[in-house]
Amino acid sequence: MVEITVVDRLGDVRTISAKPGASLMEAIRASDFGDILATCGGCCSCASCHVFVDEAWTASLEEPATAEAELVEFSQFHRVTSRLSCQIKVTDQMKGLRVTIAPEE
Ligand code: FES
């Protein structure tokens, strides 16, 4: 398991355990912490799994695919560190990753 730090919309912080190979969205939902709706179930069509990746980690993650980049850009809360957590596959190299759940739209 990989330890990932998640900051929820209230600023509460928790370290969750994520299974390599799962999506970050799945890991957050399984942790029962943070309020990620993920209404499309990870099909990259709703953006309700929007997170901000800690700047120290943005270069370490794979670049978002075009569909993810285009979808997240439409968010009113879009930042350069925005990602859709359903499109981030957890790897062993992500130990210590920190993300913040974006405000709900
Ligand atoms: S769960 Fe819908 S885009 Fe990520």
Element (H, E) at 84: strand 82-84
For residue 105, pLDDT beyond 90: no
Taking only the tens place, the pLDDT of each residue in 56-86 is 999 999 999 999 999 999 999 999 999 999 9
Q: What are phi and psi of 4, to 5 degrees?
A: -130, 135
Q: How far is the CA of 73 from the centre of ligand 1 (A)?
A: 14
Alpha-carbon span 42 to 45, nearest angstrom: 8
Which tens digit of pLDDT belongs to each residue from 23-43? 999 999 999 888 899 999 999
- Specify the ligand 1 atom closest to the Cα of 38: 1
Q: State the closest ligand 1 atom to the C-alpha of 41, by its place in the atom list counted from 1.
A: 1
Work out the mean pLDDT of the chain and round it to a whole number.
Answer: 96
Residue nearest to atom 3 of ligand 1 (CA): 44
pTM for this model (two decimals)? 0.95
Ligand 1 centroid to Cα of residue 96, in Å, is 23
Question: How many residues appear in the chain?
Answer: 105
SS3 of residue 51 by DSSP:
strand
